[in-house]
């Protein structure tokens, strides 16, 4: 089977109801496809009209024209800005064999005859008919690619999305429906590489737990942190590790030497061991953090490759709202998962101080610094699609 790129759009209502995490969990754990891109955007009126027409004009025998019209009308009514307020839509881009069919099966039918909870729409969508067969209420929860893969229509659909995503910012600055502008109240979350080693529901479950904060997601992307970025991002940690670990290792080294060699060292020998063995140990811990986040070991990568994308994947999320930093960190829990209280993300999914599931900024100032380093305002999802169709 041919490798395909396909997508799922999470609808504005689904995002508002904080169901995003649950849907992502199902998509990742039930498809075995590679998630290659993610972006949240605020559709314009022009985008809404064009995408609605694409759905209505689909020539796919597996979906009735009645269902396509229903979906097209839903997009036109619910994606467009209203009275100066914009909606949020999340696009998830998947790659793999038979990707479109697999996503369609996991998402489920627009009008399910029997709801078993097996598909995403079984659980999250609503289709309520009147007795005469007309539709009283319809909410699809998510939308998949309507056209048939390999056709010219499918290619045009994908490139239409790519061009629009390239033309929109990666962090929404537009006023959102029923919200106030608090763009100065943002914080950064990174779902770390340990959650992406194999297909699982963990990334979605983490997002679901973060939804307790009541904050809004206004930016997201899949990202591979370069070695240079990881060194700069975690730069402040290096001195902190030296101050915290080096003296302890110096004392421990002194005790081991005295015990093994049966000699008594002088007090100033402890300082010598701290500045040699202790510092080296602390720096090695720092290198492990950098390697964990980038997949690249400092000192083992040619300088001309240090700015290239790293070997491991993470997800960048920008949350916005009142007291965003503290709310996120409360749900995330302490750095050490063994000391985190029950019900926190790190207690649930973390392993140790380094493999602790997610990073969250500790202040608005650091959030701005960290977002600048990882270029949170940029997203290559449109470029991925265009490169695929070259």
Residues designated as active site: 359
How many other C-beta atoms lie within 10 A of the C-beta of residue 121? 21
Place of tokens 């537009």: 174
Nearest to 178 by CA among 15, 19, 361, 1: 15
Nearest to 359 by CA among 348, 368, 369, 370: 370
Q: State the helix-helix crossing angle for 152-166 and 381-388, rounded to 10 degrees.
A: 150
- H, E, C per residue of the chain: CCEEEEEEEECHHHHHCCCHHHHHHHHHHHHCCEEEEEEEECCCHHHHHHHHHHHHCCCCCCCCHHHHHHHHHHHHHHCCCECCEECCEEEEEEEEECHHHHHHHHHCCCCCCCCCCCCHHHHHCEEEECCCCCEEEEECCEEECCCCCCCHHHHHHHHHHHHHHHCCCCECCCCECCCCCCCCCEEEEEECHHHCCCCCCHHHHHHHHHHHHCCEEEEEEEECCCHHHHHHHCHHHHHHHHHHHHHHHHHHHHHHHHHHHCCCCCHHHHHHHHHHHHHHHHHHHHHHHHHHHHCCCCCCCCHHHCCCCCCCCEEEEEEECCCHHHHHHHHHCCCCHHHCCCCCHHHHHCCCCCCCCEEECCCHHHHHHHHHHCCCCCCCHHHHHHHHCC
Q: State the helix-helix crossing angle for 99-107 and 20-31, rounded to 10 degrees.
A: 130
């Amino acid at each position: 089977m041919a490798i395909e790129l396909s997508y799922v759009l999470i609808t504005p209502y689904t995002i508002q109801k904080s169901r995003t995490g649950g849907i992502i969990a199902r998509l990742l754990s039930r498809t075995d496809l590679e998630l290659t891109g993610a972006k949240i955007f605020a559709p314009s009126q022009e985008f809404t009209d064009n995408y609605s027409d694409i759905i209505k004009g689909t020539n796919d025998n597996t979906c009735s024209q009645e269902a396509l019209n229903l979906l097209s009308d839903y997009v036109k009514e619910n994606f467009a800005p209203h009275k100066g307020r914009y909606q949020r839509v999340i696009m998830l881009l998947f790659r793999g064999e038979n990707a479109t069919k697999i996503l369609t099966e996991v998402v489920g039918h627009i009008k399910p005859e029997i709801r078993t909870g097996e598909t995403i729409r079984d659980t999250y969508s609503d289709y309520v008919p009147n007795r005469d067969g007309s539709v009283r209420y319809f909410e699809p929860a998510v939308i998949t690619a309507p056209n048939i893969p390999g056709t010219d229509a499918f290619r045009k659909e994908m490139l239409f999305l790519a061009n629009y995503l390239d033309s929109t910012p990666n962090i929404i600055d537009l006023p959102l429906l029923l919200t106030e502008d608090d763009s100065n109240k943002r914080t950064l979350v990174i779902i770390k590489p340990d959650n992406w080693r194999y297909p699982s529901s963990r990334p979605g479950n983490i997002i679901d737990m973060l939804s307790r904060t009541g904050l809004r997601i206004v930016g997201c992307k899949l990202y591979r942190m370069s070695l240079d970025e990881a060194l700069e991002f975690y730069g402040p940690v290096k001195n902190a590790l030296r101050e915290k670990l080096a003296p302890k290792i110096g004392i421990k080294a002194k005790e081991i030497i005295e015990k093994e060699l049966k000699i008594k060292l002088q007090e100033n020998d402890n300082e010598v061991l701290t500045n040699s063995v202790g510092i080296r140990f602390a720096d090695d811990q720092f290198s492990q953090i950098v390697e964990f986040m980038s997949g690249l070991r400092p000192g083992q990568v040619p300088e001309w490759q240090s700015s290239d994308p790293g070997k491991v994947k993470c997800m960048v999320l920008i949350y916005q709202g009142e007291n965003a930093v503290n709310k996120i960190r409360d749900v995330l829990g302490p750095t050490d998962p063994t000391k985190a209280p029950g019900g926190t993300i790190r207690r649930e999914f973390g392993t140790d101080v380094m493999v602790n599931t997610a990073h969250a900024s500790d202040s608005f100032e650091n959030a701005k610094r960290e977002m600048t380093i990882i270029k949170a305002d940029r997203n290559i999802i449109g470029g991925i699609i265009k490169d695929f169709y070259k």
